[in-house]
Amino acid sequence: MPVSVPNGNDPIAVIADDPRHSVSGFTTEFIRELHNRQGVSLRDASLHDKFQATASAVRHYMVDEWLETKDKNAAAKQKTVGYLSAEYLLGPQLDNALLATDLTEIVEESLAQHGIDLAQVREQEVEPGLGNGGLGRLAACFIDSLATMDVPCIGYGIRYEYGIFRQTFVDGHQVEEADKWLALESPWEFVHPENAVQVNFAGHTETWTDETGRERTRWVPGWGVQGLPYNYLVPGYGTRRVNTLRLWGARANNQFDLKTFNQGDYVEAVRAQTFAENISKVLYPEDSTPQGKELRLQQQYFFVACSLRDFIENELEPGFDLHRLGERIIFQLNDTHPVIAVPELMRILIDEKGFEWDEAWEVTKSCFAYTCHTLLPEALEVWPTELLGRLLPRHMQIINLINVSFMAEVRATFPGDEERALRMSIVTEHPVQSVRMAHLATVAGSKVNGVAALHSQLLRDKVLPDFSALWPEKFTNVTNGVTPRRFVRQSNPGLSALVTSRIGGGWVKHLDQFDGLEPLADDAGFREEFRAVKAANKERLREVLHKRDGIDLPEGHLLDVMVKRLHEYKRQTLKLLHVVSLYEQVLSGKRKVEDLTPRTVVFGAKAAPGYRLAKDIIHLINSVAAVVNRDPRLEGRLGIAFPANYNVTLAEKLIPAADLSEQISLAGMEASGTGNMKFALNGALTIGTDDGANVEIRGLVGDDNFFLFGMDEPAAAALREQGYRPRSIYESDETLRATIDLIESGIFSGGRGGAFGSVTSALLDEDRFMAFADFASYLEAQEAVEAKYADQEAWTRSAILNVARTGYFSSDRSMRDYLDRIWHAGPVV
Ligand code: NTF
């Protein structure tokens, strides 16, 4: 490799003098991998062998840079971002690696020369689904951006053996299957068993007196496991930097508990091993509503303990003065999941390194910052002190001590305000004595941020108001972003080529350059090309859905897409009520079928396996689809497609094909959303509420290019305050009543009335997220959609303006905001 290239900013220069960077060069690497890694000849290789060999050959092209990056980091001694996240929803890796190494055409040609189709090889990849949804995908976008921006970063997380479950439908019901993503092994990881880290649990603490006569505490653990680091390469785009994603897998300490084994209980001995290895076995599938399960706390502590140990012992030079730790690392807490890292760092500094409490606290505060990703009270994690104290007795002590001095500070600042002190306490007594992890994170973090402007404001005003009164300067906003590499350049090659033909290719790294497209919205020729790209993307999607799901998308329809986790607050039911109301209007003759805008509504959504109502909603969607899609009276003008197992791989095909993006959560509920950004960047128009980042999207694209509906957050709060009665809306709104009545009639359940009673009564009796209140407004906005879609020139103009004006939502911009306002770190080249 041309390590001699002094400045790695020009990938073309780097590549030009690499002899391997040619068709014959790649062929050599590929054949070598087939032989040496897969142990097969080209003649006998299966498609899977070919994928493994392709992937590992492509990885060759990144390894030198990766090693070089490590050396560069060690020499520079600059601050590293330690992104602590329980989830990384990476998506398939091959295309991303091909893009970063600029090998796509070369590999395509090299494989073609041997009769291999890259497209088929690509399909072999099983995506690592190590996340639930937005939070995990955001982490993946962020590490991509940091590498691209030359910033030293280690992503730390868990190598779940089973990622997010595979969703299938049986009679319209969701059925979960284990996600065996490692069954055929991942070609992307480097495991280093020799760098295993010991992690302990349980036991008790005791005090002792050190040589200086100082009273110290030590933790005598009850049991432990080892964390094995699995390194993934995170290549930057257009730079030589390749950062690291380090995921930890649990392994038993001793392969066998020999004592038990010698006593003859072989099975018991092996069982202990299984117990330890369970820690990294499976991703919890709850999105937004965590279950307070002991295994989950084990997972959280497991990965942060490994990560802190790893950074301190392996990433810093020997003898580094830990009093200055905050100059070299900033650990970003991705939601509350890694917050147990706070007492862990305190424990390391005090118990192991002999720091005084105050010194340790100063260092700790400088090393953490906290991102909150939610507004739902039930999503804020709390751990019963009984559980925490049993699993991590020393950490429980430290949390209590942090709380004692924090309470003293609160009481000194607000004398006599005992209620406030109780509200703010890290440890709460109700309903059972528990630790509020968001409070701990806020107390310890140097900064606390929300993920969109509205969310950060609500975080200050409603979720943590007492904290923002105490420390106003601690709170800030960083609006989320998405990586333009994966979500435009890779997933939408047609649009990428079109855009590049007009404004050059700089946008891939500088997405604000999309603003250069603005004048082209008025260029009829460009609009035609833009429409052709959308049409081709729809065609590609038709092929994918046909092959993947046996779904035949009709041609020429408005593609109306709602893809995200199934949750009541996101209001998939509102979308469904719209479809049912259209159907009802046709059945009852209120609307002529030829007046319907031909439209297919695409849903993609997984429900947490224990979330009953969400699963009932999935069943209802599938049941409505089964009837509507077959009713000849609709003349094929209205349909629902609900492909199972929505994931990153499908998103990359679906988003570029969409016309309309559904972002319809109740205002004040969706922290940000990131799908909303991906759709806008790919030229879909949004129908949405004033929620999360929708607010900023609308602000940028303008009211003429966005379909706003529904109550805003203050209106929703006021209505709730006033006493919300969904049934009275049902009674007064004729369209809504006819829609609900049609569902209750049994038409979607083979004549059995009341089959979807759980869904309809949740709406009629409670409607926690006020779908009824926004129903009329939503239908009106959908009429505006139809009117605009009828004028294809106007629609395309708006779509182009969406692309041109949303460059702000690059995760590179998010990273710049974090670097400037929170991390105070920068690039190392
Ligand atoms: C999610 N939060 C939010 O619900 C989304 O609005 C947001 O876009 C993403 O985070 C990324 O910031 C969660 O998944 C969790 F766990 F915090 F509830």
> Dihedral sign, CA of 560, 564, 570, 573?
positive
Q: Which of 88, 164, 288 to mutate to test the pocket of ligand 1 (most atoms within 8 A of CB)?
A: 288
> Does the C-beta of 449 come closer than 6 Å to ligand 1?
no
Ligand 1 neighbourhood includes 326 CB (under 6 angstroms):
no
How far apart (Å, rounded) are the C-alpha atoms in residues 174 and 157? 28
Catalytic residues: 373, 564-565, 570, 674, 678
Mean pLDDT of the region 617-644: 98
What are the structural domains, with CATH classification, of the chain? 1-76+101-126 (no CATH), 77-92+127-479+816-823 (3.40.50.2000), 484-809 (3.40.50.2000)
The string of pLDDT tens digits covering residues 736-777 is 999 999 999 999 999 988 899 999 999 999 999 999 999 999
What's the pLDDT band for 15 if we cut at 50, 70, 90? low
Cβ neighbours for 119, distance < 8 A, ≥ 6 positions apart: none
- Any ligand 1 atom below 6 A from CB of 138: yes
CA-to-CA dists, residue 9 to 6, 351, 608, angstroms: 9, 44, 44
Q: Write the CA distances from 218 to 204, 354, 756, integer angstroms.
A: 9, 11, 57
**Does 321 score more than 60 pLDDT?**
yes
Closest atom of ligand 1 relative to the 337 alpha carbon: 16
Residue 737, token pair as written in the block: 């009543």
For 125-173, the three-class secondary structure string (H helix, E strand, C coil) is: CCCCEECCCHHHHHHHHHHHHHHHCCCCEEEEEECCCECCCEEEEECCE
Does residue 379 have a pLDDT over 90?
Answer: no
CA dihedral over 689, 693, 695, 698, signed as positive or negative: negative
Is the CB of 672 inside a 6 Å radius of any atom of ligand 1?
A: yes
**45-54, 141-150, 261-270, 324-333: range with lowest mean pLDDT:** 261-270
- The DSSP line for 382-422 is EEEHHHHHHH-HHHHHHHHHHHHHHHHHHHHHSTT-HHHHH
Whole-number pLDDT of residue 261: 64
- The CA distance from 719 to 777, in Å, is 15
Q: What is the pLDDT of residue 289?
A: 78
Alpha-carbon distances, residue 608 vs 37, 76, 673, 675 (angstroms): 38, 45, 18, 19
Model confidence at 1, pLDDT cuts 50, 70, 90, reads very low
* 299 Cα to the center of ligand 1, angstroms: 20
ipTM of this predicted complex?
0.99
Span 670-699, average pLDDT: 98
Q: Determine the Cα angle at 90 with ends 89 and 93, to 5°.
A: 160
Choose one of 287, 373, 566 to mutate for the ligand 1 pocket test, by most ligand atoms within 8 angstroms of C-beta.
Answer: 373
Rounded to an integer, what distance in angstroms lies between the CA atom of residue 401 and that of residue 348? Answer: 15
288 lines ligand 1 (CB under 6 A): yes
Q: 207 and 219 in contact (C-beta within 8 Å)?
A: no
How confident is the model at residue 753, as a pLDDT? 84
How confident is residue 256, by pLDDT bands cut at 50, 70 and 90? Answer: low
Q: Does residue 148 register a pLDDT over 50? A: yes
pLDDT on residue 396: 98
What distance in angstroms lies between residue 137's CA and the mean position of ligand 1's atoms?
Answer: 10
CA of 557 to the centre of ligand 1 (A): 31
pLDDT value, residue 625? 98
Q: Give me the chain's average pLDDT, please.
A: 95
Between β-strands 368-371 and 88-89, what pairing exists: parallel, antiparallel or unpaired?
unpaired
List Cβ neighbours of 512 (8 Å cut-off, separation of 6 or more): 807, 808, 810, 813
Q: Evaluate: CB of 451 within 6 angstroms of ligand 1.
A: yes
pTM for the full predicted model: 0.97
Give yes or no for a contact between 448 and 476, defined as CB atoms under 8 angstroms apart.
yes
- Is the C-beta atom of 379 inside 6 A of ligand 1? yes
Amino acid 6: pLDDT: 34
